[in-house]
Amino acid sequence: MRTLKDSALFNKLVQSSQVNSVIQNLSLKDLNFIDFSKDFTNEFSTIERKINFGTKGYIFESYTNGDIKLINEKDKILKLPTFLNTVGVIRNNHPVFITNISSYINNSGEIFPKTLFALMQNSLISFVLFRNWDRLINNIEFMKDTSFSYSRIITKIFDKIFAIDLDNFKSDFISYVFAKFFLLNVCGKTPSEVVNNIAYKTCFNQSSLELIKDFEEKMGDDFYSDIFNLFEGLKQINGLAHLNIRSFIENYVKMYGEASLLSLDYFPAFLHTILSSVVGGNIIKDYILDSVSGRSNNKCLSDFIKLL
């Protein structure tokens, strides 16, 4: 299973000693957990009556079983950044995933029901990935749909900055390499023709796969090793010499929201992002995600539910 430690983005750009300390030393006995059916009675009632996404029953079951928990840390014991609102801890050899909802509660002590639902869904996603990583990652349809969403979300930024949509081959190449990076690096798949073929399905302009592979070979042996090497290799492409990963990340976060940051190379964060957009939880910029990859995001949610 790929973990937060495997995220080059987290390791090189956004980690801090404070965040690391919280993750490493987190203890359930130090935290005050919410009974959301009592502490957020109105929101709980709305979720029960009006929210009908297929994950709801599994969320309630996991919450009842203690697999996922909510916390409103007014005293800030659990000091986590917006892009990392869910963390896991092992208790008695059992994983528990905790989501901090404090930053989403308004001055009246209320939280938008869909936001609460989406945050609980984030906990469920992390829990399911921890328990059933291989089952999800080895499902071809799930990999097709998630890689397609990932590729669309990334290429939208490239279109905005470099107008790659004006060059059919360049657009297809960027779509292909990011889908392949997602499969190999973010999901931890082994290089294979299956991976190549899944990545190729993101190419709208149907450029030759052989030409794409030939061009891919020029990028270097470490091209897919992490997101920084990927961007460094892409600088070789005509018109992308000034590609800067920090500037790209700034544009990515500006377009999709701060909570989407780690979705670039951390699979749980990616699923949190796209499946939250389906729910409409306002954790990220849902309307942008919907316009970019809404149909495939919906398919990802359907795939995920089938695999629960």
In this structure, of 96-110, 177-191, 214-228, 243-257, the range with the lowest mean pLDDT score is 96-110
Higher pLDDT, 79 or 37: 37
> What mean pLDDT is reported for the chain?
93
pLDDT at 229: 97
pLDDT at 244: 95
The residue assigned the tokens 């709305």 is 46
Residues 242-299 pLDDT 10s: 999 999 999 999 999 999 999 999 999 999 999 999 999 999 999 999 999 999 999 9
Evaluate if residue 190 carries a pLDDT over 80.
Answer: yes
Q: Is 150 exposed, middle or buried (0-12, 13-18, 19+ CB in 10 A)?
A: buried
CA distance 211 to 170: 11
Structure tokens at 78: 């659990």
pLDDT at 23: 76
Q: How confident is the model at residue 74 (pLDDT cuts 50, 70, 90)?
A: low
pLDDT at 34: 87
CA distance 277 to 165: 24
pTM to 2 decimals? 0.95
CA distance 2 to 54: 25
Evaluate if residue 75 carries a pLDDT over 60.
Answer: no
Q: Is 192 exposed, middle or buried (0-12, 13-18, 19+ CB in 10 A)?
A: exposed
pLDDT at 77: 58
Radius of gyration over every alpha carbon of the chain, rounded to an integer in angstroms: 20
Residues 79-132 pLDDT 10s: 678 899 899 988 778 899 999 898 899 989 999 999 999 999 999 999 999 999
CA distance 144 to 155: 16
pLDDT at 92: 77
Compute how many other C-beta atoms are within 10 angstroms of the C-beta atom of residue 41.
10
Q: How confident is the model at residue 16 (pLDDT cuts 50, 70, 90)?
A: confident
Q: How confident is the model at residue 21 (pLDDT cuts 50, 70, 90)?
A: confident
In this structure, of 30-34, 66-70, 249-253, the range with the lowest mean pLDDT score is 30-34
